[in-house]
């Protein structure tokens, strides 16, 4: 687009200033393609009154005005990669208004040249800031796609070429994420990037997914994950496995399994490590042991109150006072239920061994039930075995 304004006008009366400025930009506007044309018209409809008011000694600039100007600038920056011609136009319009103000004489605007310059400078600053912000946003969008692809490759164990790993960290916290309610993907990505730095890689959606956070050791991996969890809204479950870059795919399997176990065991939202579910993890990997544990729980399935009591006892680490309070029952009622659980399972929930085995049995049963539901859903899909 050309930004050549019409020749320098002679002296302009105050009442004619806005008309004169519009006449100055008319040749430029005839040259501007859509959608830049509409965006530029909107900006000028806001900018020219500001300049005229400054020429008349008034300052109409406010936060509301700034917000409106920024919205117009964003549309301009979205429509063109180069705002330099438009900055030049605004600067020349500012010079025209200064010429009118400084010409003096009867009936001339009484505004301060400094006020006019300030108005023009504000407009130019907003143009430049808006262009920078929009360019950065576009770049981040392209970069996010690249980072998502990088994350997918690492999570799937696809090796990069030696000269293509310049932007990868030596080791990562492999974070598995599950959202109780859908979250905005951009919010999640931004949270992880803010916590861990620009080296963060993500493969996330509204329900969760995986994030790879550069981390030098296991302690740092756990720390970063907890910080991200604390910063996210809603009910979110996370698990983390620290791995060297070449073992990220193994970390994905471990973190994903730990997260599944935490969800199956009905644990509260939080951050879970392998150490938190070590017994359950080992049990889930050994079908024979898992089957035996499931059989321990089977007798309780016909007694919902006893099953719920056992879950609360596990959640409170066997603390009877807390369990009774959470269940809203008398302590003697709890003692009776504990006796019945021991009679049906052969394990006493009040002993360390008993509570540990029963906790693993609950998890094994939950995992088995989850797997059963998944198999049923698969069988009833079109093309499945029904």
Q: Is the pLDDT of residue 192 over 60?
A: yes
**Choice between 336 and 374, residue whose per-residue pLDDT is larger:** 336
Cα(228)–Cα(191) distance, integer angstroms: 6
Nearest to 73 by CA among 139, 115, 132: 132
Q: Is the pLDDT of residue 11 over 50?
A: no
- Residue 385's pLDDT band, with cuts at 50, 70 and 90, is very low
Share of the chain above pLDDT 90, in %: 28
161 backbone dihedrals φ, ψ, rounded to 5°: -65, 155
**Choice between 44 and 248, residue whose per-residue pLDDT is larger:** 248
Q: Is the pLDDT of residue 182 over 60?
A: yes
Lowest mean pLDDT among 1-15, 204-218, 258-272: 1-15
- Residue 56's pLDDT band, with cuts at 50, 70 and 90, is confident
242: three-class secondary structure by DSSP = strand
- Residue 364's pLDDT band, with cuts at 50, 70 and 90, is confident
Q: Is the pLDDT of residue 239 over 60?
A: yes
Residues listed for the chain: 386
274: three-class secondary structure by DSSP = helix
Cα(349)–Cα(328) distance, integer angstroms: 19
Q: Is the pLDDT of residue 143 over 70?
A: no
**Averaged pLDDT of the chain:** 79
- Residue 175, token pair as written in the block: 């974070």
Q: Is the pLDDT of residue 1 over 60?
A: no
- Residue 270's pLDDT band, with cuts at 50, 70 and 90, is very high
- Residue 381's pLDDT band, with cuts at 50, 70 and 90, is very low
Nearest to 319 by CA among 305, 341, 338, 294: 338
Q: Is the pLDDT of residue 226 over 90?
A: yes
- Residue 333's pLDDT band, with cuts at 50, 70 and 90, is very high
Q: Is the pLDDT of residue 327 over 70?
A: yes
Lowest mean pLDDT among 120-124, 180-184, 286-290, 367-371: 367-371
- Residue 47's pLDDT band, with cuts at 50, 70 and 90, is confident
The pLDDT score that the predictor gives to residue 378 is: 39
- Residue 223, token pair as written in the block: 């720390």
The pLDDT score that the predictor gives to residue 27 is: 74
Q: Is the pLDDT of residue 268 over 80?
A: yes
299-322 pLDDT, tens digit per residue, is 998 999 999 999 899 888 888 899
The pLDDT score that the predictor gives to residue 164 is: 54
Contact of 11 with 106, CB cutoff 8 Å: no
Contact of 265 with 280, CB cutoff 8 Å: yes
Residue where the block lists tokens 């969760």: 208
92-135 pLDDT, tens digit per residue, is 888 888 877 777 644 454 567 888 888 888 888 877 777 766 66
The pLDDT score that the predictor gives to residue 148 is: 79
Nearest to 258 by CA among 234, 275, 233, 235: 275
- Rounded mean pLDDT, 70-87: 77
- Residue 31, token pair as written in the block: 């040259």
The pLDDT score that the predictor gives to residue 212 is: 95
Q: Is the pLDDT of residue 163 over 70?
A: no
Where would I find the H helices in the chain? Answer: 17-31, 36-55, 63-79, 84-103, 113-155, 185-196, 218-231, 248-264, 278-285, 287-297, 304-315, 320-327, 331-345, 352-379
**Choice between 282 and 93, residue whose per-residue pLDDT is larger:** 93
Q: Is the pLDDT of residue 284 over 50?
A: yes
């Amino acid at each position: 687009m050309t930004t050549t304004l019409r020749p320098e006008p002679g002296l302009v009366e105050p009442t004619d200033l806005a008309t004169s400025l519009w006449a100055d930009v008319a040749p430029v506007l005839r040259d501007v393609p859509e959608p830049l044309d509409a965006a530029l018209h909107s900006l000028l409809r806001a900018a020219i009154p500001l300049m005229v008011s400054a020429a008349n000694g008034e300052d109409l600039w406010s936060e509301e005005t700034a917000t409106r100007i920024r919205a117009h600038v964003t549309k301009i920056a979205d429509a063109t990669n180069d705002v330099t011609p438009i900055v030049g136009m605004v600067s020349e319009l500012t010079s025209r208004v200064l010429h009118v103000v400084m010409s003096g004489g009867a009936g001339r605007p009484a505004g301060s040249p400094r006020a006019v310059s300030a108005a023009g400078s504000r407009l130019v600053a907003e143009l430049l800031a808006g262009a920078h912000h929009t360019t950065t946003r576009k770049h981040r969008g392209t970069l996010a796609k690249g980072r998502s692809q990088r994350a997918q490759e690492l999570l799937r164990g696809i090796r990069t070429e030696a000269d293509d790993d310049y932007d990868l960290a030596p080791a990562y916290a492999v974070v598995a994420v599950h959202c109780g309610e859908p979250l905005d993907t951009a919010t999640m990505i931004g949270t992880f990037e803010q916590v861990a730095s620009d080296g963060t890689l993500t493969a996330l959606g509204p329900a969760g997914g995986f994030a790879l956070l550069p981390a030098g050791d296991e302690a740092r991996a756990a720390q970063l994950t907890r910080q991200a969890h604390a910063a996210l809204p809603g009910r979110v479950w996370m698990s983390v496995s620290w791995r060297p870059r070449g073992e990220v795919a193994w970390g994905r399997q471990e973190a994903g399994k730990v997260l599944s176990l935490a969800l199956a065991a009905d644990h509260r939202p939080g951050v879970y490590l392998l150490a938190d579910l070590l017994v359950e993890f080992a049990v889930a990997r050994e079908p024979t042991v898992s089957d035996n544990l499931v059989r321990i729980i089977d007798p309780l399935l016909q007694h919902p109150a006893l099953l719920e009591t056992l879950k609360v006892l596990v959640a409170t680490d066997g603390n009877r006072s807390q369990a009774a309070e959470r269940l809203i029952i008398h302590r003697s009622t709890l003692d009776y239920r504990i006796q019945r659980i021991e009679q049906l399972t052969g394990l006493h929930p009040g002993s360390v061994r008993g509570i540990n085995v029963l906790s693993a049995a609950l998890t094994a049963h939950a995992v088995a039930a989850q797997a059963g539901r998944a198999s049923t859903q698969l069988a009833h899909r079109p093309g499945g075995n029904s």
